[in-house]
Amino acid sequence: MERFVDVLESRVRGRGPVTLFTTDGGHRDRHEAEHFALELAPAATLLCTHVVREPSPHHAVSFELDAPTDFPTRSEREGGRAFRFPGQDALRGSLPVREVVASSAIDRVVGVGCTVTDDTVVDTRNYVRPVYADGLLTLHVTPAASGSVVPLEVEGGHVC
Amino acid sequence: MHDHNHHHGDTPDYADLSVPERELRPLDVSRRRFLRNAGLLGATVAGAGALSAGTASANPGWDSPGRYQWLSGDHHIHTQYSNDAMYTVEQQVAGGVRNGLDWMVITDHGYLAHEKYAVQQTYADVLKARQKHRGLLLWQGLEWNTPAAEHATVFFDCSRDEAHMLQTFEQLFDGNVNGTNPSSPANELIAVQGLRWLDAQVRAGKINSALFLANHPSRNGRLSPHELRNWRDVAPHIAVGMEGSPGAQADSTPTALGGNGAARGGYSNSPGVDSWPGYPLELYRTHGGFDWMTAKLGGLWDSMLAEGRGWWITSNSDSHRNFGDTLTSPSPDADYSATGKHLDPVDSGVKHSWADFWPGQYSRTVVGATDRSYRAVMDGIRNGRVWVAMGGLLAGLEVTVFSDEGGWPVTLGGRTTVRRGGNVTILVVARLATRPNAGGSVPKLARMDLIQGQVTGPVTDRDTFATPDVRVVQSFETRRGFVPVAVFQHTFRNVCDPFYLRLRGTDGNFHATGSLEPRMDPAGGVDPWSDLWTYSNPVFVDVVR
């Protein structure tokens, strides 16, 4: 855990001061919420969707900017799902956990149905969407047939 | 059969005390109670009411497996009358018959065009298929978009107006038709009202009986524990269980074998907008092809059984488009909305990597029925007299549980009683596969696990999805003898507290590391024929002091 905290601090040091802003367009469809956020804040380096259960389940969005805006600020990241984040472009193909953590804003990689070490290979499938859990930007991974692990969130999941 | 008087002489079931009350329709329970209150019947029938029909009430009669015909079926099958499927009713029925099924339920999706145009067309095709396949029991049901929740199979015992009743139900309560799919307390209430409505139709005699089974319960993580419990409690003779394993088991077939290399059951999701936030992420994947709610030892299913009430599992195909088939739908999805029907499929000449198996080809739900009738199969499901298997892993499963209290033995879904400190013995006769399955090999049962769970009574938190006192009490290695039968026996001695027992078997090919438990199915391709499991429903043991 200490290692993750070190990595997190070094990254925060490198990124300069940012503010998290939020807005709620009431989108039930997550893709639509993402497009909505990207149109509002094309310059943001970190954008998240957040599930809001009331009054009816939908998505709010949040985004980090280093300049003031008219949007309300947000302090709660927990549960947010980052669809754009620093270092995302580096997460292509297969790479070990230590490299995932070193080269992106992802703080930790957590195995679901498996355990991971720094050497575990993550097959990113070129689609990585970490979530804030326990205050850390977390990539959940599941076992894959090849012996590597893959992100829990699969592009275009079977939702019907 | 010798001790059972169904349709024997002139005595109706409700007046025949050898027929347990849980096997009666609510109307007949009322009749029996009326007679009993009038002093016209003996008072020996255990006092569970009609509304506990699905809850494994005490059984005063002979209940050994040999009393029943064990009929294989599938309650989750789509046709060209679904917005996302393509086969004719006859093609699906012929496929099921070819794969050895005795009963099938057609369950096309609730949908505006389905309710408007498809229900009656389907019914005409179902009537034709019944004429053609005389030995088969074929229902027309519905895959209900249960408001706020997942899909569910709903079907009725045959009656005069079954298609009309189905259409009315869909119109009133389907989440797609009415826009009530999103998870919310208000929509949850509509689901409960739907079950109450079904219950009222049964009580009014408009339908003889109805069943509700939650399909692919964990696929989107949106089916909360309290919703399952609410349904069970509001209509226990209708809402009786869930799919233990989802269909779409071919979806994980590796690309090297011509498959999608995707996920068993299509379980490749992660938490979404409607997901219940309390679940662990393991829920979103299958485990040995089974849904987490069933596969997790001491998990949600066990936590419901620990309440001492019945909740039963099944296994089905969810067939939309079948793996390796060359047929394909010629009509674009848009056509469906105008007609409620896709044009008959045409042969493309190319094998497709589709996700499903034919009904009965891979998964089957085997029901102990007193006879080969619509009512008897529904009663068998209602009473949990059901075991399930993938890939023909078992040819037969006969389970008998004896209490040294004497009295009749019971089988799956049953309930027996022992005096405190007494012994209970389970005898398992597993009939092993002798012929190749549809995957081309003769599956070998490597092991059966006898699982015991303590009955601890109703939960205080209705979102409970775990219970601590569940364990594998004994694992039986299968030794193949001269005859293809494996016999296991275990005695629970000095029984002091109520419990249930259930069975789980495997071909032994894959486990979670260092354990007897199924592994989480890995991403990127699993040959579904390489990892086969079978599960039984439970038998409950009550203790009297």
Q: Do A144 and B524 touch (CB under 8 A)?
A: yes
ipTM: 0.90
B523 touches chain A (CB under 8 A): yes
What does the alpha-carbon distance between residue B19 and residue B4 come to, in Å, rounded to a whole number? Answer: 7
Which candidate, B385, B381, B378, B363, places its Cα nearest to that of B66? B385
What's the mean per-residue pLDDT of chain A? Answer: 89
What is the pLDDT, as a whole number, of residue A7? 35
What does the alpha-carbon distance between residue A19 and residue A107 come to, in Å, rounded to a whole number? Answer: 19
Q: Do A145 and B84 touch (CB under 8 A)?
A: no
Q: Which residue in chain B has the smallest CA separation from A56?
A: B184
State pLDDT tens for residues B16-26.
666 666 666 66
State pLDDT tens for residues B231-249.
999 999 999 999 999 999 9
Above 90 in pLDDT, residue B310? Answer: yes
Q: Do A145 and B272 touch (CB under 8 A)?
A: no
CA within 13 Å, CB half, B350: 7
What is the pLDDT, as a whole number, of residue B12? 63
Strands in chain A per DSSP E: 19-27, 46-52, 58-65, 81-84, 94-96, 108-111, 121-123, 131-133, 136-143, 149-151
State pLDDT tens for residues B245-288.
999 999 999 999 999 999 999 999 999 999 999 999 999 999 99
* DSSP letter (8 states) at residue B284: G
Q: Which residues of B touch A144 (CB under 8 A)?
A: 522-524
State pLDDT tens for residues A9-66.
434 435 567 899 999 999 999 999 999 999 999 999 999 999 999 999 999 999 999 8
* Count of C-beta atoms within a 10 Å radius of residue B32: 23
pLDDT band of B210, cuts 50, 70, 90: very high
Kindly state the average pLDDT of the residues A148-158.
Answer: 88
Q: Which residue in chain B has the smallest CA separation from A112?
A: B282
B154 forms beta bridges with B142, B212
User: Contact at 8 Å (CB) between A86 and A15?
Assistant: yes
Above 80 in pLDDT, residue B55? Answer: no
What does the alpha-carbon distance between residue B539 and residue A68 come to, in Å, rounded to a whole number? Answer: 65
The CA-atom distances, in angstroms, between B294 and each of A119, B386, B529 are: 33, 14, 20
State pLDDT tens for residues B435-494.
999 999 999 999 999 999 999 999 999 999 999 999 999 999 998 777 899 999 999 999
B333 touches chain A (CB under 8 A): no
Q: Which residues of A touch B274 (CB under 8 A)?
A: 57
B176 touches chain A (CB under 8 A): no
What is the pLDDT, as a whole number, of residue B61? 59
pLDDT band of B331, cuts 50, 70, 90: confident
Q: Which residues of A touch B184 (CB under 8 A)?
A: 55-57
What's the mean per-residue pLDDT of chain B? Answer: 91
Q: Which residues of A touch B271 (CB under 8 A)?
A: 51
Q: Which residue has the tokens 């699982």?
A: B451
pLDDT band of A69, cuts 50, 70, 90: confident
What does the alpha-carbon distance between residue B416 and residue B25 come to, in Å, rounded to a whole number? Answer: 22
pLDDT band of B10, cuts 50, 70, 90: very low
Strands in B160-248 per DSSP E: 210-214, 239-245
Q: Which residues of B touch A59 (CB under 8 A)?
A: 273
What is the pLDDT, as a whole number, of residue A18? 85
DSSP 3-state assignment of B431?
Answer: strand
Peptide bond into A55 cis (omega under 30): yes
Phi, psi (5° rounding) for residue B380?
-60, -45
Q: Do A28 and B182 touch (CB under 8 A)?
A: yes
Above 70 in pLDDT, residue B82? Answer: yes
State pLDDT tens for residues B97-111.
999 999 999 999 999
Which candidate, B45, B147, B181, B156, places its Cα nearest to that of B106? B156
Q: Do A150 and B523 touch (CB under 8 A)?
A: yes
pLDDT band of B83, cuts 50, 70, 90: very high
Kindly state the average pLDDT of the residues A126-136.
Answer: 97
What is the pLDDT, as a whole number, of residue B34? 64
Above 70 in pLDDT, residue A1? Answer: no
> What is the count of residue pairs from A and B with beta carbons less than 8 Å apart?
80
Above 90 in pLDDT, residue B406? Answer: no
Above 80 in pLDDT, residue B399? Answer: yes
What string of H, E and C letters represents the secondary structure of A3-39? HHHHHHHHHHHHHCCCEEEEEEEEECCHHHHHHHHHH
Give the closest-approach CA distance of B216 to chain A in angstroms.
11
Q: Which residues of A touch B520 (CB under 8 A)?
A: 112-114, 142-143
Give the closest-approach CA distance of B404 to chain A in angstroms.
42
Kindly state the average pLDDT of the residues A110-121.
Answer: 97
Q: Do A57 and B270 touch (CB under 8 A)?
A: no
> 49-88 in A: which are within 8 Å (CB) of B?
51, 53, 55-59, 79
A160 touches chain B (CB under 8 A): yes
What does the alpha-carbon distance between residue B386 and residue B366 come to, in Å, rounded to a whole number? Answer: 5
What is the pLDDT, as a whole number, of residue B244? 98
Strands in B286-444 per DSSP E: 312-315, 327-328, 346-347, 363-369, 386-390, 394-403, 415-419, 422-432
Q: Which residue in chain B has the smallest CA separation from A150?
A: B523
State pLDDT tens for residues B346-398.
999 999 999 999 999 999 999 999 999 999 999 999 999 999 999 999 999 99
What is the pLDDT, as a whole number, of residue B7? 36
What is the pLDDT, as a whole number, of residue A81? 98
Above 80 in pLDDT, residue B52? Answer: no
User: Contact at 8 Å (CB) between B223 and B300?
Assistant: no
